A and B are shown apart, each in its own frame.
Chain A
């Protein structure tokens, strides 16, 4: 048990505090440096996550480091890194940059704590740290009514969901007498008769509702499109690509006890949630003119695919499906983060044409993007195709593993409804190509509305990093599949 394993979190916490202090001392003009400083810190933290091998548990088993926590920490750190690099341009010249970067780093730490939490108390505290930092980030443009409205909606729904989650946790504590996750599992395995009580279903309902708000599953999704549309675009990238995955890792961790306690019910419930979520997300995305809103609905649809990971029943296939879910979560983080940053570039382009445009993310601004900003347009093309699940891309690998494991499971179980779910999911993927292709048509077929622009270097760096990740996972998936399967093994379903 070596405290080196805590280095990624400790580094980010101390960096956040140092940035707040530095912000008091340096002049407003040199605050851009803080962005590079946070990018450096996140990069170091990614290196630590990858380089320091080993497992351990800390603070009376409240905090564990294992393959599951490491892969999710990698996702969170990479997404924050992309968001920070893009923010260097997005918030250039703002005099509140110190608070911005400190909050962004603290949000990342909160997500990492959730990934490592082995106790409901630690899970709740980490969840709240990440949520509160992101409430403020969503409303960071405090002169922009849309940004504040996004923050208010996110805050009200987010704190409602934490209250539901806390109530669920209090019931779980009441039933079992433990707050630690292994303790709860042990209670249910030693007292099988306790697992059948009606109160368990109530507790589970509260927990699922609390997590589903974060994951933005239908019918708990109302806040997501508004928040993603109104927030600063780089923050939308963090919310869609990072903080959504926090809901998934918490659900993976806590719902293991549900899977132990009452196998069949939760799977059926998640199957219904997943199918409704992906269908609703894809159908509503079709009618959107605002690209940020379209990406928000597409990210709701992706959450539907990822939550198929809870559906498989046989142990091997269930493990594989969860591995696939983690893989898709990793891919989605890169694709969606990259796509939102590409939208930020378009916003930059539109504003440099005309300062007074209100809807910088409207579809019409994408006309002729292939000529105006070739790197962004090409990257956006790849991200959209990857979101639709076209090989070779990260989106394809994740979807393939999930659909494959559910299909095999359906054959083993001889269960018609599971096969039906896979068919619905594949039809949904086909449907989603329609609205992604529309953006591609605008970018490459329609004539451009202005001259070619010079894309700012930080944006290009962030986009190219996401692009390399998206294609890299698609072309050479073995190490990532291995990582995801190791992570799924920890859950030991």
Chain B
């Protein structure tokens, strides 16, 4: 069985991919996917710690956060669909009415 550090390494790699994507991607859908990656990196952490600490709290926390991530994605897609209906684009570069 792999040790704790390999799990944490996977989590950190996923987290890095997610943050890189949020900075570089311009499509609304891809940004939503990157946010899911960030949340799931945290979930891997929670479950790994939970298993190595021998307490179930982390797994419960991960379950809560999975449910919340699903709700969050639903709201994100709803906003994107509403935006697509009136603007015909979800490219974040074109969504710039509000600026100083």
Q: Which residues of A contact B (CB under 8 A)?
A: 120-121, 124-125, 128, 132, 135-136, 139, 142-143, 145-146, 148-153, 155-156, 159-160, 162-164, 166-167, 169-171, 173-174, 177-179, 225-226, 229-230, 284, 287-288, 293
- Chain A residue, CB-CB nearest to B35: A159
Count of chain B residues with Cβ under 8 Å from any Cβ of A? 43
**Further pairs besides A145-B97, A179-B58, A230-B98: 8, Cβ < 8 Å:** A121-B60, A142-B86, A152-B79, A155-B79, A160-B22, A167-B42, A174-B48, A177-B49
Q: 9 closest pairs, A vs B, by CB?
A: A163-B38, A170-B45, A174-B49, A166-B42, A226-B98, A167-B42, A170-B46, A177-B53, A148-B83
Most A C-beta atoms less than 10 A away, residue of B48, B57, B95, B96 = B57
Residues from chain B with Cβ under 8 Å of A149 in the complex:
83, 95-98
Most A C-beta atoms less than 10 A away, residue of B35, B48, B71 = B35
Q: A148-B82, A173-B57, A177-B55 are in contact. Are A166 and B76 (CB under 8 A)?
A: no
Q: A152-B83, A163-B42 are in contact. Are A229 and B15 (CB under 8 A)?
A: no
Residues from chain A with Cβ under 8 Å of B15 in the complex:
167
- Name 14 A/B residue pairs within 8 A (Cβ), A-sorted: A121-B60, A125-B68, A128-B71, A135-B75, A135-B79, A152-B92, A152-B95, A156-B31, A163-B38, A169-B42, A170-B43, A173-B50, A230-B98, A288-B100
A200 to chain B, nearest CB (A): 15
Q: Which residues of B contact A (CB under 8 A)?
A: 15, 18, 22, 28, 31, 35, 38-39, 41-43, 45-46, 48-50, 53, 55, 57-58, 60-61, 64-65, 68, 71-72, 75-76, 78-80, 82-83, 86-87, 92, 95-100
B98 A150 Cβ-Cβ under 8 A: yes
Q: What CA separation (Å) do A139 and B99 show in the bound complex?
A: 17
Partner of A163, one of B39, B48, B55, B98: B39
- Chain A residue, CB-CB nearest to B86: A145
B38 A160 Cβ-Cβ under 8 A: yes
Q: What CA separation (Å) do A179 and B53 show in the bound complex?
A: 12
